[in-house]
Amino acid sequence: MDELITLRENIQNLSKFHQLEVFRILKKNNVEYTENRNGIFVNMNKLKESSISLLKEYLNYVFKQQSQIENMERKAAHYKKSFFKNNKEIMSLL
């Protein structure tokens, strides 16, 4: 039960793009859902283990991707700060 709660919270915290991907995964696996103006709703207690596994795989992919992007952005900021700091000093000498 805690696993489903964590899964639900993780999905709710995703961007709309990734939430739509989650919906596509569920729809492709013939998971029943209801839809109204507030969104799409799934009774997660009725999910098959295979669907849960697919959702976990997708979430792991998204979290890994986000982590890698954040890592690259930190490195880029570090290099930018280091390079342009030295570059400005060199340009001021000319």
pLDDT tens-digit readout, 40-90: 999 999 999 999 999 999 999 999 999 999 999 998 888 877 777 655 555
Q: Where are the beta strands (DSSP E) in 1-44?
A: 34-36, 39-41
76, two tokens? 């880029």
Burial status of residue 1 (CB atoms within 10 A of its CB: 0-12, 13-18, 19 or more): exposed
Mean pLDDT value across the chain: 89
pTM of the model: 0.76
Residue 82, phi then psi, degrees to nearest 5: -65, -45
Using DSSP bridges, classify how beta strands 34-36 and 39-41 pair: parallel, antiparallel or unpaired. antiparallel
